[in-house]
Amino acid sequence: MLGQVIELIEKHERFAITSHIRPDGDSLGSSLALCWILRGLKKDAEVIMCDHVPLAYSKLPGSELVRVVPDIDREYDAVFVIECSDVTRPGLPSLNEQFVVNIDHHSTTALFGDLNWIDSTAAAVGEMIYNLAKAIGSRITPEIASCVYAALLTDTGSFHFSNTTERTFKIASELVKHGAQPAKLSQAIFYSYPYAKILLIGTVLSTLQRDESGRIAWITMTRKAMTESGANEDDSDGVINYPLTVGDVEAVAFFRELQDSTYRISLRSKNRVNVARVAEQFGGGGHCNAAGFTIKADYDHLSKDVISKLKEAVQTSPVVNGREIKPR
């Protein structure tokens, strides 16, 4: 499939790259890296997104070139869609009228593209984009190296998650050789928070609760908590990781109140507790250890329902390291 993607690029001129709503490190890093690769090949390429670039990724090379649009408004020979579970995830309604190349590392993605390049062994789509750069003969510039590094860094949870392999470090090492600066990128992504974010983290963490087994924890962010800290929705990203740092906690839910009784729920887990299966039951999706969904619901019912489904997921999770994890 990589061969077909290369042939498409070689034969055409005008490309757009997009990814899912509320883009993250892999979606932005991969999209920008691909844009730099295409421009290096003298192609007409741009990144279009329906949402703005979050502050954490605003220092990635090319982030200022991302065009925020409510829909596709130009003609392209092909649109590359990065790490999207289906054609609606970019939030660009006319996308299905374009020639679409679906590039993803989630095996659960719908094959919605005219070309579908899926590699579920890749730690991040950034790794696939790096393979493409090498295969097509691009010079790996510091811009490409930095964007791919950011994708790898964020999708592996700073090289903490189980998708981190020997290959990840090998690629990271090559990227550093080509000009990616690890400390500078980590500083930009993880040490450049606005003060309001820390105030918000304090408020949200004060809502922390856990079930009787201690294996499931949850936190909630109301609209009031957000506005009172002077924060915005982006500032709540990453807060979910704190409850997961508790040794006994294996699954976490984060309930974020949007407008009109709509909630965005993020789920995270450790080991083989599959939260994607839980998110799917509410119309969302994701990976085994990180998933989410958005739903209009009454908070009390919703939280009970989500926590009971998480309990099932924890209790039925497979054996880890030859040892069955039993409820304590």
The region that residue 135 occupies, defined by phi over 0 for left and psi between -120 and 50 for alpha, beta otherwise, is: alpha
Of the candidates 70, 72, 83, 79, the residue with the CA atom closest to the CA atom of residue 110: 83
Kindly calculate the radius of gyration of the chain based on its CA atoms and give it in whole angstroms. 20
- Which partner in Mn ion, ligand 5GP, none is near 82 (CB below 5 to 8 A by kind)? none
Q: In this structure, what DSSP letter does residue 239 have?
A: T
Q: Please, which residues have CB within 8 angstroms of residue 206's CB and are 6 or more apart in sequence? A: none
Q: Which is nearer to ligand 5GP, 23 or 40 (CB)?
A: 23
54 binds, among ligand 5GP, Mn ion, none (CB under 5 to 8 A by kind): none
Which range touches Mn ion (CB under 5 A), out of 4-12, 116-124, 181-189, 247-255?
A: 116-124
Please tell me whether residue 266 binds ligand 5GP under the rule CB under 6 A: yes
Q: Could you tell me which residues come within 8 angstroms of residue 62 by beta carbon, excluding any fewer than 6 positions away?
A: 32, 35, 36, 47, 143, 147
Report yes or no: 103 and 82 within 8 Å, Cβ to Cβ. Answer: yes
Q: Which stretch binds ligand 5GP (CB under 6 A): 62-70, 138-146, 208-216, 283-291?
A: 283-291
Site for ligand 5GP in 85-104 (CB under 6 A): 85
**Whole-angstrom distance between the N-terminal and C-terminal Cα of the chain?**
47
Out of 5, 31, 48, 83, point to the residue binding Mn ion (CB under 5 A). 83
Q: Is there binding between residue 288 and ligand 5GP (CB under 6 A)?
A: no
Q: Which does 155 bind (CB under 5 to 8 A by kind): Mn ion, ligand 5GP, none?
A: Mn ion
Q: Applying CB under 5 A, which residues contact Mn ion? A: 26, 83, 124, 155
Q: Where does this chain bind ligand 5GP (CB under 6 A)?
A: 85, 266, 284-287, 290-294
